[in-house]
Amino acid sequence: MTASTGSASPPRFAPKPDWLKVRAPGGERYHELKQTLRALDLYTVCEEARCPNVGECWRDGTATVMLLGDVCTRGCRFCAVTTGDPRGAVDPREPEHVARAIAKLGLVYVVMTMVNRDDLLDGGADHVARTVRRLRELRDDILIETLVGDFAGRSESGDIVAAANPDVLAHNVETVERLQRTVRDVRASYARSLELLERSKAEATRLADEPGRRPMLTKSSIMVGLGESDEEVIQTMRDLRGAGVDVVTLGQYLRPTPKHHEVVRFVTPETFDDYAREALSMGFLYAASGPLVRSSYKAGEVFIRSLLGPSEDPRAALDARLARAREAALRLGGDPNAVENRAANAANAESFVPATSLVRAKRTTETP
């Protein structure tokens, strides 16, 4: 592999390479899920961030929702989420509403992500954990990933989320060690991120023998194109693997606005393939690596692939789970296959909580 750093940044208004161009999302499954989400007053990061993979993920029964509001206490240079001080504001009914709304969808896999909440004593860990536990009570078949912040270094907060037993606990290291201070908020750190991932894995292992406990994987994501070298990317993967991380994703950084960190290089698909080969050689269970890959990209398939042998068919396993998910949603009063029933779905949603008072439309972008 070359040690390219891409030191010459592409011109600001230069067209993106062909490999970063995708078709607009569409298809029957995409439109059905979008209609049902609106009926349940549930907004996804997939839509608000205009993720290029939204159609592909939704067809596979995967979606990402944001918890704890839409104002982040951090100000990272790659992220367009609103920065501010929520002053401790938390909707205590959100875990119940989000869990019930998701349970009515024919989803195989849900990613629960969050803004950083340095204004809360536990960083929001208990709120996330309650949402996981409630959804598990309603839909034991659904796979749950929690994509969390670093909880300002409060190690016990990571333990709280791990104890809730998500199938995957994810935390993104974001970039290589050298670029941490120029890319992430000054309160974040490379060492803290690795420590959170390692401790969460250890906590899951400690609790593994509890009755009914499910195995928990750990996962992290790296953006490229910020000025790193390929060797630094490889070293970051080594560090993640050393912290016991099971799954890694790598994708191209794309600048949200001119105020954000510049794109230093566009990494080629061939280089992403090299990253994936290197990751698998290190012992990662799976590596999703490509220009359009984001931390939640095809998360359900990534999870299933990480558990299957090389000769097994992940598509068949995912389709089987999708069929079971639709059946489970129907039993709870949802109808993920019928657009004409969306009005009934809305009525059902309003019967358990006043949805419009609980969840705001999230004007956010997902951390890649």
pLDDT in tens, 324-343: 888 888 888 875 543 233 33
Q: For 134, what's the count of Cα atoms within 13 Å in the CB-facing half-sphere? A: 19
> Structure tokens of 226?
């910020």
> Structure tokens of 22?
């995708």
User: Between 7 and 187, whose confidence is greater?
Assistant: 187
Instruction: Work out the average pLDDT over 176-196.
Output: 97
Confidence of residue 13 (pLDDT cuts 50, 70, 90): low
pLDDT of the residue at 138? 96
Instruction: Work out the average pLDDT over 189-216.
Output: 97
Confidence of residue 183 (pLDDT cuts 50, 70, 90): very high
pLDDT of the residue at 360? 39
The candidate with the shortest Cα–Cα distance to 288, out of 263, 264, 314, is: 314
Cα separation, 310 vs 252, in Å, equals: 26
Q: Each residue of 143-155: pLDDT tens digit? A: 999 999 999 999 8
pTM: 0.82
Percentage of the chain exceeding pLDDT 70:
75
Q: Name the helix (H) or strand (E) containing 81.
A: none
Is the per-residue pLDDT at 213 higher than 60? yes
Is the per-residue pLDDT at 367 higher than 90? no
Cα separation, 289 vs 25, in Å, equals: 21
146 bridge partner residues:
112, 169
Given a contact cutoff of 8 angstroms between Cβ atoms, the answer to whether 89 and 69 are in contact is: yes
pLDDT of the residue at 104? 86
pLDDT of the residue at 347? 36
Q: 57 Cβ partners below 8 Å, 6+ apart?
A: 46, 51, 63, 296, 297, 298, 299, 300
Q: Each residue of 84-108: pLDDT tens digit? A: 999 999 999 999 999 998 998 888 8
Q: Each residue of 284-326: pLDDT tens digit? A: 999 999 998 887 766 677 777 777 666 677 778 878 888 888 8
pLDDT of the residue at 348? 44
Query: Is residue 4 packed enough to be buried (19+ CB in 10 Å), middle (13-18) or exposed (0-12)?
Result: middle
Instruction: Work out the average pLDDT over 248-273.
Output: 94
Q: For 145, what's the count of Cα atoms within 13 Å in the CB-facing half-sphere? A: 30
Q: Each residue of 61-82: pLDDT tens digit? A: 788 888 998 899 999 998 888 8
> Structure tokens of 177?
């060690």
Instruction: Work out the average pLDDT over 251-274.
Output: 94
pLDDT of the residue at 359? 38
- Across the chain, what does the average pLDDT equal? 83
DSSP 189: -
The candidate with the shortest Cα–Cα distance to 63, out of 245, 336, 288, is: 336
Percentage of the chain exceeding pLDDT 90:
55
> 287 in helix, strand or coil?
strand
